[in-house]
Amino acid sequence: MSVPPESVPPSSSEPTPPPADMPSPEQRQWAMLAHLSALLGCLLTGHWFGVGVFIGPLVIWLLKKETMPFVDDQAKEALNFNITMAIISVVLLLITLLTLGIGAILTVPAGIVIGIAWLVLVIMATIKSNEGERYRYPFCLRLIK
């Protein structure tokens, strides 16, 4: 007795096509670079709230926003998150200055915790976007729409 051909599962040598909503490998790579460029900017400038963390995501967003929707989304997310972190840093610095340094008792430990959280979240976003997932930072002002 023979088995009808439509009931035979495909051989494992045939590649399975990616889901229709899955971004292409090129889009995933650019999205990953948008998040990773903030980390690179931090390493080059020496701090996580400087101009360096904005340049990479901004350039990638401006270059790819029209042609790659996934990159547009993730580069904006990276840019918004880094703007949010810069605002938090400025607020902590102002608190320290306005209290003539006494506020540093609270702002320095808060800054360290926020810096570690920034690093962990950027790495998580890099990994998730490389997997094709639209990553959303847990706390982020959506200033650029």
Concatenate the DSSP letters of all residues of the chain into one string: -PPPGGGSPPPTTSPPPPPTTSPPHHHHHHHHHHHHHHHHHHHHHSSTTSTHHHHHHHHHHHHHTTT-HHHHHHHHHHHHHHHHHHHHHHHHHHHHHHTTTTTHHHHHHHHHHHHHHHHHHHHHHHHHHHTT-----SS------
Q: Is 54 within a domain?
A: yes
Q: Is 60 within a domain?
A: yes
Q: Is 7 within a domain?
A: no
Q: How confident is the model at residue 16 (pLDDT cuts 50, 70, 90)?
A: low
pLDDT at 41 (0 to 100): 85
Contacts of 57 (CB under 8 A, 6+ apart): 34, 35, 37, 38, 75, 76, 78, 79, 82
Q: Is 77 within a domain?
A: yes
Q: How confident is the model at residue 86 (pLDDT cuts 50, 70, 90)?
A: confident
Indicate yes or no: pTM above 0.85: no
Question: pLDDT > 90: what percent of the chain?
Answer: 61
Four-residue CA torsion sign, 126, 132, 137, 138:
negative
Mean pLDDT of the chain: 86
- Residue 54 structural domain: 24-130
Q: Is 17 within a domain?
A: no
Q: How far is CA 21 from the centre of its chain?
A: 20
pLDDT at residue 4 is higher than 70: no
pLDDT at residue 34 is higher than 70: yes
CA distance 87 to 89: 5
Q: Is 92 within a domain?
A: yes
pLDDT at 79 (0 to 100): 94
Q: Is 32 within a domain?
A: yes
Q: Is 14 within a domain?
A: no
**pLDDT tens for each residue of 38-77:** 888 888 877 666 677 888 899 999 999 999 999 999 999 9
| Average pLDDT score over residue span 128-132 | 94
**Domain total in the chain:** 1
